Amino acid sequence: MIIHATTILGLRYKNTVAMGGDGQVSFHDTIMKAKAVKVRKLHDDRILAGFAGAAADALALFERFENKIGEYSGNLPRAAVELAKDWRTDKYLQKLEALLAVADNKHSLLIAGSGEVVEPDDGILAIGSGGPYALAAARALLSTNPSLSAEEIVRKALKIAADICVYTNENITVETIKC
């Protein structure tokens, strides 16, 4: 599944987890909205979640994910696996076109409708059409600017992605939690 129309970047660095997203909502080649918020805090502000893909689909997944987090008492990996299982087997959910990036103080996970739950080796998550650009920028910033905070790296990397990806803009929202 190729998801266009957004960039979400999550990063664990210096005892902080930061996740940010751009504000652009696109419909084919038209910008429909410039200041959407695609990242939010969940479960008493202990989990960050961001989405890429169809907005209505992602909001439906946020709701399902919040229910799973509650059902599994904040256990992020378990809730992610259970959501992925439901997503893959439920006839309604199978039609949803979105990806979720989620993180807490221990785990960073990508959840996809085809059943994948992936935890990156380096703790950096990037999804959406600008994801590869933001990922590369974040890795470069980490190696060349160790004095930056997690939030600063996410903001700068998303700005770089916005300069490259036509489906990403500079209206950036970043949320953070402490590890």
- Known catalytic residues? 6
Listing DSSP states for 23-89 in one string gives --EEETTEEEES----EEEETTTTEEEEEEE-HHHHHHHHHHHHHHHHHTTT-HHHHHHHHHHHHHH
Q: Is residue 138 within 8 Å of residue 157, measured between CB atoms? A: yes
Task: Give Cα separations from 89 to 2, 20, 72 (angstroms).
Answer: 20, 30, 19
Counting every residue written for the chain, the total comes to 179
Helix (H, G, I), strand (E, B) or coil at 13: strand
Pairing of strands 16-21, 7-13: antiparallel
Cα angle for residues 140, 50, 149 (degrees, 5° grid): 40
